[in-house]
Structure 1
Amino acid sequence: MSNIGVWEPAEPGVRRKILTVGESIMNMVVEFEAGAEGYEHSHPHEQLTYVLSGSFEFRIGGEKRIVLAGESIYIPSGVRHGVTALEAGALHDAFTPVREDLVKR
């Protein structure tokens, strides 16, 4: 059963919904409660993240950066990264290639 268009829990206080999956790109929305954390991890995919609402502290390759609503950030392939919601908010993530580890077809 496909999980495209379905809200799913991620980490505590975080949920995600895959919006669209193409041949080599996908996007999703991720909602965070205030203080919730996207645990540090890495993957072979390039990632572009746009902050829809709220403010977030990103940790990318050992560097910290605050990103606010209306701003975007790039995460290179293979770089360790994580995020903490400084207030409740939402992110729009795009990945290339498709995150097959997240998509249920």
Structure 2
Amino acid sequence: MSNIGIWENAEPGVTRKIFEPGKTIMMMEVHFEENAEGYEHSHPHEQFSYCTKGRIEFTIDGQKQVIGAGETIYIPSGAVHGAKALEPSILLDTFTPVREDLVKR
């Protein structure tokens, strides 16, 4: 069953909705409760995360950076990264190429 356009649980306090992907790019919306974490991981995809609400502390290859509403962060291919919501927050994540590991078609 496809998960496109359906809200699903990612980690505790984190939900996401994957939008219909293009050929080589995709986007998803991610909602965080306060103090919820996106666990550290890595993938070969490049990623931009745009914060539409709240404040998120990212850790990328051991370096911490906080972004707030209206700000974006770039995550290079292969970088070990995670995120923690400092308050209720929303991200728009964009990946290239498509994360086939997340998309169920």
Query: TM-score per shorter chain, which class?
Result: over 0.9
Q: Deviation string for 1:21-75 (max 9, x for gaps)? A: 0110000000000000000000000000100100010000110001010000000
How many Å apart are 1:19 and its aligned residue? 1.3
Distance 1:36 1:73 in 2: 18
How many Å apart are 1:2 and its aligned residue? 1.1
Alignment of 1:39-50 (within 5 A): 39-50=39-50
Question: Aligned residue for 1:21?
Answer: 21
**Alignment pair present for 1:88 and 2:81:** no
**Alignment pair present for 1:33 and 2:10:** no
- Percent identity over the alignment? 65
Distance 1:48 1:56 in 2: 14
Counterpart residue identity of residue 39, structure 2: Y
DSSP 3-state at the match of 2:64:
strand
**Alignment pair present for 1:65 and 2:76:** no
DSSP 3-state at the match of 1:20:
coil
Counterpart residue identity of residue 36, structure 1: A
Alignment of 1:72-83 (within 5 A): 72-83=72-83
Distance 2:20 2:68 in 1: 24
Question: Aligned residue for 1:101?
Answer: 101
Distance 2:49 2:95 in 1: 9
For structure 1, the residue ranges without an aligned partner over 5 or more in a row are: none
Superposition RMSD in Å? 0.5
